[in-house]
Structure formats: C-alpha cells, structure tokens
A and B are shown apart, each in its own frame.
Chain A
C-alpha cells in the first residue's frame, strides 16, 4: 500500500493549515457563504439536513489497520461513534461540528489520510476493483495507476473549478468490472495491445444522475506512459467547453453527447498532440517507483486447504453458505478473499460503529497483513486470508455483525444515506432497504434467487447507483409525499446498462410487495441457468409490468 514520503507529508500538512485559515476566515465573516462553499466541499465538508457531513477519502478503497483505528477514535471524539462507507469507497461522518473539521483533518493527516476533493467540482477519488492485486485474471495491478492519478489530480491548479464533479475509475480484469468504469466520467480499462504492450482503453462520458449514460470508448489503446498527458487533455477540453450555464447539463457526458464521441475524441487528440511529449509524460521509473509500494505481502508457500475446508463445510452448513457467498478465489494457492458484509438487517447499509471499525482493524492485523478494503457495494474486504484460518475467522464474524452470508444477494443492498441524513434527498432510502431485507429474511430463498443487485437512491443524484441496479429504486417527491420509482435491467459490470423505468411510482409501505412481485415473475420465467438480469433481458419488461400493476 502507498506510503507518504516527505513531499506528500508536507503537502498534507500545508493543506490542513490552509483549511484552518479558511475556516477561521469563514467563521469570522471574511468569506461569504458562496465563497467558502467550494473550499469546504473540496475538503469534504457538506452542510447537511441535520448537521454537517464530512466525507473522508479512502484512495481506491485501501485502508491500513492504524487508519481504521484512527477513524474509530475520530468518530468517538468528534461524532456519534459511527461512520458510513459510501458507494465510492469513501467514509462519511454524519455529525461533526464545522469548527472541529480542521482538527479532524489534522488527525487524519497524521495517519496519511485526508478529505481532499471528496466533493465539489473537481477531480474526485479515483476508484478501482476491491480485488485489485489478488485476483488471478487481472492484466496488471490497477492501484499504482490510481495512486499516480491521485497525485496528479491532487490540487491540480488548472482543474480545481471544473463545470461539475469529475470521477475516474480504473479496472484491470477482462472478465469482471467491480469498479463500474462505464458509468464514470472517465473509465480506464487496463489492456494489452497486439504487441503485448500495456495500456488503457479510455471510456469518457458515463454517469448516473439525471441523465444516465454508458461511457463510449474514445480511444481503444492509450500507451501506459501517456496516461497523465491524455487525462490532462480530456480535462482541459472539458474545463474549457463543458457547460457552465446549467448545473444539470454540466457533466462531461453532456459535452461528449453534444460533440458526439468522435467529435469529442478529435478535440482531445488535437489537444494531446501538443502536450503528449511534455514533462507530464510518465516515465518507466516513475511507474516502477509507485508499483514498489504495491508489491505482494509476505505470503507463505501453501497449497489449497481443500480437504480441511470440505470437512468444515460438511460440519457446518452456515460456514458452507458463507464460504460459497462471501469468499472469493485468490491468485495465491492457500489464500482466499473474504468480504465482510455490512448489510445486517436493521443496520443502514454501509454503517459501522467505532467498535466495529476497531474490530475490522484487529481482524486485518490478525488475518490479512494489516490491510482492509472498502468496496463500492459498501462492504469491507480482507484480501489475503489463509484458507486454513477461514473457519476461525468466520466464527468471529457473526458476533461482530459482519458474518451475514448475503453478498451479491437481493439483501446486499446498495443504499445512499437518503432523506434521513442528506439535504439533497427527495425521500428516505434506509427504511426501504430495511423493509425489503425484512421481507426477504430467508437465506436459502435468497441463495436460490442468485445474484441480484438491488440499488436504492434517495434522489436523482444517484449516489445509490439505482440506474445500474438489476432492480433500481429511486426516491421521488410527489406533492410533498415520498414515493419510489422502480427500474429494471440495469447492470454495472462489463455488460453495463441503464435500467428501464417500470411505471408509476409506489408508496413506501408497498415497496416490499412490489419487489416480491418482481421476484415472483423472475421465478416463473427463469430457466435453470438464468440470473435475474438474464431473464429480464430475455423476456423484457412487460411481464413484470403486468404483474406489479395488476
């Protein structure tokens, strides 16, 4: 994992001093509210419905145990002893005081953390696959490139006041896309060309929100060393020509659509021709230096613990289920990737208490080389667990609230904080998630349904990624009443697609029934091998419509 050098440390300290100065001037009335706004947003600070909210950056989802412990302490000292993992691999505090934020940022800087650019019209945290570096089929570890992008985008003097927010995601596997790159402003797919050289396929102009769009490819192959100059060209075209007259048309997807992907690509290529050989061009040494931080941990030479696991699975059905659902294959024999689910019914998806944060830190130290990862599904991953210790780990997870074996099932709901916390929301989302989880409380039934992404957003801003949920739920406001619109058929992986709206929206109390009817149609229509989204794609939306609105 990346470790700060003296340059990173100095800039982190200077940033805290700067924000302390800015906060003091804001509190003294020297900065107007609209002048302080982008400054506080770019330090993670929102003013929310009930209190300020601080969004802390977790670069590409990686956390060390010491950082988890510091987060736990911060939630105790400055907040209400809990935190929330977001759909962009970050962490949010819901109740900090504005005047405490500089102190919180100083405490974060001590453990090489920050809240830089977690909000505002700037380049946000670069996200990636939570299985980066430990899955067998990736072309190269995406994390060094994420770190290179993090450094390039941090306090970039030209791109701090973009027309709108800007999100980059990197994916490295050919088969899966856990980073959902095609719904990002820039999605980078690591590829090798015919001569075996490493590079990126560049998607630009994806996004959710009011105008959901799947990002078209604007360059099939970008050589590795050209990464930053090309990003700089894209951002420059966007900064100069993105719309600034209408907030809802300001994302880069609107510009790409207006110019057409070909027209946009041409503008970028023209710009790039001028700067591709500038000193911003990466060097092999610079990449190797960053890659040096992401080397393999000190794995033991093991073989797969197949017999031992078979015996344990035979003895415990619950362990067997957990192993099937929450444990993935690791590239190293004898190791496994474990997902801790934060989706226990009754707990808002992604919420963790201070003690749970410390428990995760302890588990990371004991079982996974002191590191943990946040996923965009709002779960936590221990990426390097020995297979012969899985049973022992599993036994501890249940009491801690991480053991629910519902990963990727209907109950593994992605959900934004919604109207309970967020000033932007039209409707609550957490109670809807909980009501659905209560309705579908039989694990065997959930397993029989297979993988279903159910995503809930409390408003059009789509923090809960509802457009790309196989089942998407969107909170809408109808004459002051909270209603919920349902869409079907969305997907976020390599087969990314935007869900189609089922029809008129529903009252909150009806939602579990509506989901149940949708599931019934799937059960009626599916063939043996089909997942929910496969069936939907084959039969279309009509049978679902007929049943739900019958």
Chain B
C-alpha cells in the first residue's frame, strides 16, 4: 500500500482505497479493505453503510458538500478530490464541511495532490494528503510548514492576525 501524509508531516500506511464511480450499467463493488465511495452512492445506500467504520465517501470538485450536512457524524472519513491541482474548489468544500457542517472525523485530499499546496489544504481543514505518487513524500513535512502563521482565520485558527495583534 502507498503511504499517506498526516497534517503534522508524519507518514503512515494508507489503508483506504478510493472506489471510482461505476461506469454506466456497472454496479458498485465494495472491496474487502476500508473503502471511499462516491458520496451520492453512499447517500443512496445509506441504510447499508451508515455507521460502518470502514466505509467513507469522496466528493468531487463540483459536488456540493451540503448533501452530507445531516450525516457528518456517520462518516469516519470524507475525501475531497482535486481533479487538477490548480482547481481550487476543494478548499472551499473542505472549509464548509468543517466550519459549517461540523465534520470532525478525518478529511483527506485525493487526486492531483502536490507538495506546494499542502499548507493551504492544512489550513482549510484537511488532515491527510494522498500525494501524487511521482512526488517525493519526504519533502511533505517541509511543504506543510513553509509559513509559521497566516493572516486569516481559517479552519486551523479562529483568530485572524488582526485579532491576535490586539491581544
């Protein structure tokens, strides 16, 4: 199994497998190991999946996080797909899941995940990062910590710099 990066820069074995959206006519096949399935298919089969600790979901760039609003406590892991690293929708999706819908379990970045975006992802609430395999995972810790702080409030801190300066 490939490795996965944690927000503190540590690296662990990845146990989760991303199940792609089935092609037309095909049915969803759930593997033996912990699996992430498309969020809408999870919702359709919620009776079967809810509360299972080894079934999570993934959202694509254009998916609305609102669909999970009532189910955030039933999901052990939500992954957000970056179809292309330069497609920034996933950052908003992540913040909404965290800050608006109160998702507390693991939030993971998947897809075109590169090194130089990791710190932004961390600030927007991602816990784990499935780095694209051709990138050097040993450089992740450095990329996660280029900046010691930020100007804005985000998922990682409630306090924008202007409030920290005041105290």
Q: Interface of A with B (CB < 8 Å)?
A: 5, 7, 10-11, 14-15, 17-18, 21-22, 30-31, 35, 38-39, 121, 148, 151-152, 154-162, 228, 236, 239-240, 244, 274, 278-280, 282-283, 285-286, 289
Contact = CB atoms under 8 A, between A and B. Distances in A.
Interface stretch (B13-21, B48-56, B119-127): B119-127
A164 B153 CA distance: 23
Given A7-B165, A14-B147, A156 B92 contact: no
A413 to B, nearest CB: 36
Given A7-B165, A21-B142, A283-B166, A154 B87 contact: no
Contacts of B162: 148, 151, 282-283, 286, 289
B165 to A, nearest CB: 7
Contact of A158 (B95, B151, B158, B166): B95
A157 B124 contact: yes
A11 B162 CA distance: 14
B73 interface: no
Interface string B138-167: 000010001111111110001111110110
Given A30-B136, A283-B163, A11 B147 contact: yes
Contact of B148 (A14, A162, A244): A14
A285 B165 CA distance: 10
A239 B92 contact: yes
A279 B160 contact: yes
A274 B153 contact: no
B89 A239 contact: yes
Nearest to B125: A157
The 5 closest A-B pairs by CB, nearest first: A161-B88, A157-B123, A286-B162, A157-B120, A18-B146
Given A157-B152, A158-B95, 11 more contacts: A7-B165, A10-B148, A11-B150, A17-B146, A151-B151, A152-B160, A154-B151, A160-B88, A278-B153, A280-B152, A280-B153
Contacts of A39: 116
Nearest to B112: A35
26 contacts: A5-B165, A7-B149, A10-B148, A10-B149, A15-B146, A17-B146, A18-B146, A21-B142, A21-B146, A22-B116, A30-B136, A35-B114, A152-B151, A152-B152, A158-B95, A158-B120, A160-B88, A160-B91, A161-B85, A161-B117, A162-B88, A228-B160, A274-B100, A282-B162, A286-B165, A289-B166
Most chain A CB inside 10 Å of its own CB: which residue of B92, B95, B142, B154: B92
Given A17-B146, A39-B116, A155-B147, A285 B166 contact: yes
A129 to B, nearest CB: 24
Contacts of A17: 146
A280 B148 CA distance: 19
A289 B151 contact: no
Nearest to A286: B162
Contact of A157 (B91, B148, B163): B91
Contacts of A5: 165
